[in-house]
A and B are shown apart, each in its own frame.
Chain A
Amino acid sequence: MSEILDFLPVPTLVVQPLGDSYRIQRASSGLLQAWDRTREDLVDKDLFVALYQASRTARFDRIPLAYAIETAVASRALRLCHAAYISGDDTWTARITPVHKEDDLLCLLLQWEKAELHVAVPDGGMSQSWLPIDDAFRILVHAVKDYAIFLLDTRGNVVTWNTGAELNKGYKKEEIIGKHFSVFYSEEDLQRGKPDRALERCLREGRVEDEGWRYRKDGSRFWANVVITAIYRNDIHVGFGKVTRNLNERKENELRLVAAYEESSRLKNDFLANISHEIRTPMHGMLSACSLLLDTELSEEQRETANLIDESGRVLLQVINDILDYSKLAAGRFSVQSDVVDIAGIITSVTRSVRTTLQPGVSMHLDLAPGLPKAMGDPIRYRQIAENIIGNAGKFTEKGSITVQVSVPAEDETTHTLLTKVIDTGHGVPEDAAAKLFEPFTQLDTTYQKRRQGTGLGLSISKSLCELLGGDIGYEHNPEGQGSIFWFSVKLDKVKSPATATTDPTHGVDEPSRSPSKSQSGDAAVQLNLLRGIARTKRILAVEDNIINQKVLVGMLHGFGFEDITVAGDGSQAVSILASEGHVFDLIFMDISMPVMNGYEATVWIRSSGSSVPIIAMTAYALKGDREFCLEKGVDDYIAKPVNRQLLMQKLLKWLCRSDSPAHVNGESTEEPAIDCQAIPQELVEA
């Protein structure tokens, strides 16, 4: 048997499978003679090494034969592999016959015969080709200028070249024919085996498409879309067709589009920010005017209309504020302040205000972990998030309860992480909508609830704010049935020195009726003189709704020598006085709880109108955190009720002596007013 094989006239190789590779077991004499090789050259060698080791493109050369063997073995049938071996000018086609015993592959019989010659001709085609090219098609393809269309042989060598290929790749036909197609790839792609994989995949799948950089003859690159198709004739794989399209222009356009998009989005955000700011000021004016209108005698119908204006105005203002925040956040221009944050105080105050808006039958619970820290962060932003999340729970819960939990799940050397959870028994959020909750301009519409007022920006703003504060925000279903859990976390810096967290001892909150000590009464006389010296030239606006308090405050101010005192009964009166008289006041005393327009709203209006007049809040609130809240709203200082005369004098000196410099939030001690008044002319002081 072995002799028969050796002397078979057809050039034959017997190949044995050995793991993943194939080893040549026998080679017929006819083969050695035809290929002019020795038996030692081939026998006991790896098949692919023996056949292709001399070729520079060995890694591509083996691809068609390896694939043919793989399919022959898999299908247990004869396979042909065109041009699997080249000796001299001859190209040999392999006829592969797998030999099985039962399910085991014993060996492969590779019988070789000369393939037809293909000769490249100058017009880019082949006169006598094994590749099936019709003359007419060849002319058509050759004429295409925008696409490089060319054929490769089974191993990836270029066989044809059209005008488009010449224009796009920069190679002349005579330079490239016979060269391997891998020259179009970058070194990096070659190392990663990209062209090899393309051919292998193409054989398996018949077609492969890719986008990437390709290189021209001069080394420049272009972004290409490449389609490689395997070509068969009579079921024999004979080569590859390749169509390359230059997408440089498209790629550049894409980049230009991205840049244009970014630019326009920036312009949009700038526009939104500017326009919202511009709208806000007249809106405040309109709302104040409307409050005044509501204060007058109105017929039923007129009152209804004015109420409508008022309500719509407030909704509009909220929308504008949301948009302003959103655009600032989107533009990355949102600044975060660092101040002492009293979490318990803020949450208590927010729940207090949301509680007034709850629907009947809904209860609200507050669950603050013991020992919540005071820490450094942005109290206004924290409050804004809390207002949004808790306010939403209030809006969307029609029965049951709302629970607000605050805990400190983590802390390290410098920070506390605070987790705030709001658990409600409202409608909850459908699964598919949950993913979109925090996207801007999203409002969930369901059949059983009418659309809520607002921009749908609240949660998206809250999310951005949380991220700014080093935390996160999220939603989950209420595991106890219907409803939602919204949670958000923020990271707050620990307070470095304990002194900064304690309230100033001269501050009114802790000792509202503290009387001056003996040593201070000497100073008091000096202070009173100083104050009397400047009082006559100063104008003061006192905003207070209780007539008794008005009288006492005015009496005290008269006692200090003030003559020009204007009294307003509530915030909207104050606003209209300011609107009609202009910013003529040197100082404003502002009661906080007042009907119609409270002191916070009035302060916000005054600040948004551009005035930096010192505003001193007066309130009987004794809650901790209220002072911070006053300061947050744009108030400069704070005095507790009942107003202590001595303290009032100090505050007046402090703020009136500084009234030329811009008012600034200042929680500092009020003990050194005299220093600030050094500049006052002596004759005034002694008057």
Chain B
Amino acid sequence: MAPAEAQPDDILDSSLVDLNTFNQILEMDEPDDHEFSTSIVFGFFEQAQETFDSMDAALKEKDLETLSSLGHFLKGSSATIGLTKVRDGCEHIQRYGKLENIDGSPEPDEDLCLERLTEAISTVKKDYEEVETVLRKYYEQFD
């Protein structure tokens, strides 16, 4: 018999990951493997890296519209997995890119939005790295 599995609760910080949502994904795994959730989580890692690269490029181009839609895109998948902080960060990017404040009110100052975008992207990357580390650690136990 395999050693008792560490439960996600033991490893994952609920401020980083919404456990209800994440557990929904784990529940879809077959009893003896973690193939499904692994493919989802590691698929997300890839997607996040790609998206960050695109964001960097768009930021260089000062392409706010693209930044907004990239933010929206990653918001969807991070929300699906339950990565609360990343999801929130992506929402900020989505708003700033649309020339809005966090509350959705208009912010016509494009330079200010760019400045905020730069900051938000670096924050979201940091949050992402943090959660990637713990998730990788969580999956390491199954190797």
Q: Please report A residues at the B interface, Cβ cutoff 8 Å.
A: 348, 351-352, 355-356, 363-366, 513-515, 545-549, 551-552, 555-556, 558-559, 591, 593, 595, 620, 623, 641-645
Task: State in angstroms the CA–CA spacing of A558 and B35 once bound together.
Answer: 15
Contacts of B28 in A (CB 8 A): 552, 555-556, 558-559
Give chain A residues whose Cβ lies under 8 Å from the Cβ of B75: 620
Q: 17 A-B Cβ contacts within 8 A? A: A355-B98, A356-B98, A364-B106, A365-B108, A513-B20, A514-B20, A546-B80, A547-B43, A548-B40, A548-B76, A555-B25, A555-B28, A555-B40, A556-B24, A593-B69, A641-B80, A643-B80
Q: Is B59 an interface residue (CB 8 A)?
A: no
- CA of A546 to CA of B81 in the docked complex: distance in angstroms? 12
| CA–CA, A359 and B19, complex, Å | 45
- With A546-B76, A642-B82 known as contacts, the answer to whether A513 contacts B36 (CB < 8 A) is no
Q: For residue A651, give the distance in angstroms from its CB to the closest CB of chain B.
A: 15
CA distance A644 to B79 in the complex (A): 11
* Residue from A351, A620, A641, A642 whose CB has the most chain B CB atoms within 10 Å: A642
Q: How far is B98's CA from A514's CA once the two chains are assembled, in angstroms?
A: 29
Q: What is the bound-complex CA distance between A513 and B77, given in angstroms?
A: 14
Assess whether B43 is in contact with A551, with CB atoms less than 8 Å apart.
yes
Q: A364-B106, A365-B106 are in contact. Are A551 and B40 (CB under 8 A)?
A: yes
- In Å, the complex CA distance between A642 and B98 comes to 22
Output the least CB separation between B70 and chain A (Å): 11
Q: Is A351 in contact with B106, judged by CB distance below 8 angstroms?
A: yes
Q: Does any Cβ of A come within 8 Å of B47's Cβ?
A: yes
Once the chains are docked, how many angstroms separate the CA of A352 from the CA of B108? 12
B72 beta carbon closer than 8 Å to chain A: yes
Q: Compute how far the CA of A609 lies from the CA of B56 in the bound complex, rounded to whole angstroms.
A: 42
Q: Collect the chain A residues with CB atoms within 8 Å of residue B77's CB.
A: 546-549
Question: Using Cβ atoms and an 8 Å threshold, which residues of chain B touch A547?
Answer: 43, 47, 77
CA distance A551 to B39 in the complex (A): 9
A352 to B105, CA, bound (A): 9
B106 and A355 contact, CB distance less than 8 A: yes
* Assembly CA distance A514 to B27 (angstroms): 16
Interface status of B49 (Cβ within 8 A of chain A): no
Complex Cα distance, B93 from A648, in Å, reads 28
Q: Give the CA-CA distance A653 to B23 in the complex, in Å.
A: 22
Instruction: Tell me the dominant secondary structure on chain A's binding face.
Output: mixed
Known: A546-B76, A549-B77, A620-B75. Is A642-B21 also a contact (CB below 8 A)? yes
Rounded to whole angstroms, the CA-CA distance of A153 and B44 in the bound complex is 108
Whole-angstrom distance between the alpha carbons of A551 and B105 in the complex? 34
Complex CA gap A348/B106 in Å reads 10
Least CB distance, A625 to chain B, in whole angstroms: 11
Question: Are B40 and A366 within 8 A (Cβ)?
Answer: no
User: Secondary structure at chain B's binding surface: helix, strand, loop or mixed?
Assistant: helix
For B27, B73, B80, the residue with the greatest tally of chain A CB atoms inside 10 Å of its CB is B80
A502 to B98, CA, bound (A): 29
How many Å lie between the Cα of A642 and that of B44 in the bound state?
A: 14
Q: Is the CB of A363 within 8 A of B108?
A: yes
Cβ–Cβ < 8 Å partners of A366 in chain B: 105-106
Q: B65 contacts which of A356, A513, A546 (Cβ < 8 Å)?
A: A356
Further contacts, 7 of them, CB under 8 A, given A548-B81, A552-B80, A643-B80: A363-B106, A364-B106, A366-B105, A548-B44, A558-B28, A641-B80, A642-B80
Instruction: Choose one: A355, A552, A556, A620; the contact of B99 (CB below 8 Å).
Output: A355
By a CB distance below 8 angstroms, the chain A residues around B106 are 351, 355, 363-366
Cα distance, A659 to B34, chains bound together (Å): 35
Residues of A close to B76: CB separation below 8 A: 546, 548-549, 591, 593, 620, 641
B99 contact set on A, CB distance < 8 A: 355
Query: In the complex, which of the residues B72, B81, B87 has the most CB atoms of chain A within 10 Å of its own CB atom?
Result: B72
A641 vs B18: C-alpha distance when bound (angstroms): 13
On whether the beta carbons of A545 and B43 are closer than 8 Å, the reply is no
Contacts of B44 in A (CB 8 A): 548
Contacts of A643 in B (CB 8 A): 80
**Docked complex Cα distance between A352 and B99 (Å):** 10
For A552, give its contact among B18, B20, B40, B65 (CB under 8 Å): B40
* Chain A residues positioned under 8 Å from B69 (CB to CB): 593, 595
Cα–Cα distance between A620 and B81 once the two chains are bound (Å): 13
- In the complex, the answer to whether B43 meets A620 with C-beta atoms within 8 Å is no
| Structural contact, B36 and A641, CB atoms closer than 8 A | no
Contact, CB under 8 Å: A513 / B40: no
Q: In residues 57-111 of chain B, which contact A (Cβ within 8 Å)?
A: 65, 69, 72-73, 75-77, 79-82, 87, 98-99, 104-106, 108
- Most B CB contacts (10 A, CB to CB) among A356, A363, A593, A620 go to A620
Residues from chain A with a CB closer than 8 A to the CB of B73 are 545-546
Contact of B80 among A355, A548, A623 (CB under 8 A): A548
Given A513-B18, A545-B73, A642-B82, the answer on whether A552 and B104 have CB atoms closer than 8 Å is no
CA of A249 to CA of B52, assembled, Å: 83
Which B residues are CB-close (under 8 A) to A623? 104
Q: Known contacts A355-B99, A551-B40; decide if A513 and B82 are in contact (CB<8 Å).
A: yes
CA–CA, A356 to B100, complex, Å?
Answer: 12
Which residue of chain B is the closest to A618 with respect to CB atoms?
A: B76
- Closest residue of chain A to B76, judged by CB? A546
Assembled-state Cα–Cα distance A515/B82 (Å): 13
- Whole-angstrom distance between the alpha carbons of A232 and B20 in the complex? 109
CB atoms of B79 and A641 under 8 A apart: yes
B108 touches A642 (CB 8 A): no
Q: Which residue of A lies closest to B99 (CB)?
A: A355
- Contact across chains for B18 and A548 when beta carbons are under 8 A apart: no
Would A620 and B79 be within 8 Å (CB), given that A548-B40, A552-B40, A593-B72 are in contact? yes
Measured in the bound complex, the distance between the Cα atoms of B79 and A552 in whole Å is 11
Distance in Å: Cβ of A532 to nearest Cβ of chain B: 15
Counting from the closest, the 6 A-B pairs by CB-CB distance are A548-B77, A363-B108, A555-B28, A642-B79, A515-B20, A642-B80
A347 to chain B, nearest CB (A): 12
A401 CB, nearest partner CB in chain B, Å: 8
- B81–A348 touching, CB < 8 Å: no
